[in-house]
Amino acid sequence: MTEEIVLLKEAELQQLMQTKLEKAGLTSEHAKEVGKHLTYADLRGVHSHGAVRVEYYAERIAKGGTTIEPNFEFEKTGSSTGVFHGDNAIGHVACRKALDYGIDMAKETGVAIIGVSKMGHSGMLSYYVDLAAQQDLVALAVCQSDPMAVPFGGTEPYYGTNPIAFSAPTNSARPIIFDMATTVQAWGKILDARSKNNPIPDTWAVDGNGEATTDPNKVQGLLPISGPKGYGLMMMVDILSGSLLGLPFGKHVSSMYADLSSGRNLGQLFILINPAYFTDLDQFKENLSTMIDELHESKPATGVEQVYYPGELSEIRYQKHLEEGIPVAKSIYDYLMSDQVHFNKYDHSDAFAEK
């Protein structure tokens, strides 16, 4: 049975999440940034990275696994490179601050490659590349995560969902934004299905025996997209956001739930490109807008109403939710409205926590 849904306005949802995170121990500044980020995810319809995450963050914050007053440091390692040391702060804040350095650097030198070292979970990558595109930059972001994906031909998880996000500015008010896990679906999508008591497609994951499952509560391994191709991409992401920064790799990446009193030491990488250093910026944006128009004019396949550019459906959901309200599971809404900081639900669980 599908759980009841509550519709909330953008400002209301953001404030509820900010308040809960402040109660857990985050500073007002950091809680506001995280709330803004999670609201953005829910607006785009990526509920796996929105309000469903608040209770987990609150428990980790309350138990000391998130640095409340981090000692942030930006280390410029070259004219177009740098490392932002996150001191195991909540990742949304560390990455937002690191991105600002990268944007300034790319505007000045044409290119910026910024690593974020030792941070907590950083949420939805498209949030960051969206901000970069609004500054007329092309952006690529990759981030490692704890081992949950079964390698092609294997039976035991080794890499994480290891997402990739891309953006580019256009002549319209909104940029092209494309965000994907290198697994068929992100783990958060399965968490979202659990919260709503919904089944999942049998192509997303396997159970403890390595067999396909439609029960989100039985998942013990996620599947890479397109078999060996997704497997290669998740290795690439792990190298760029982990090994390149001297951080743990593959199965050595810290578990999301194993010990909520310790920092996670995760890594993320931003690659920012200033189109004006390579071509005429206005023409570049015009060409991308023309590309979108031509894709829309493409003849759709049988049973398909419209050809969309990658990420466009999330843009459509974004506008719809702004106008009609953001759907939130009733159980999550009740938690946000309650006085409870957390329910001691996640600590010392395995990666596929069933609590």
| Contacts of residue 103, Cβ cutoff 8 Å, sequence gap at least 6 | 112, 131, 132, 135, 137, 272
- 114 sits in which H/E element: strand 111-119
Q: What span, in angstroms and rounded, lies between the C-alpha atoms of 208 and 150?
A: 11
* Given 121, 252, 321, 342, the catalytic residue: 121
User: Does the active-site annotation cover 49?
Assistant: no
Q: Are strands 111-119 and 81-85 parallel, antiparallel or unpaired?
A: parallel
Maximum Cα–Cα distance across the chain: 56
Residue 66 burial (C-beta neighbours within 10 Å; 0-12, 13-18, 19+) = buried
Q: What span, in angstroms and rounded, lies between the C-alpha atoms of 267 and 125?
A: 13
Coil/strand/helix, residue 224: strand
Do residues 39 and 17 make contact, with C-beta atoms less than 8 angstroms apart? yes
Q: What span, in angstroms and rounded, lies between the C-alpha atoms of 257 and 190?
A: 16
Do residues 98 and 269 make contact, with C-beta atoms less than 8 angstroms apart? no
Please list the active-site residues.
121
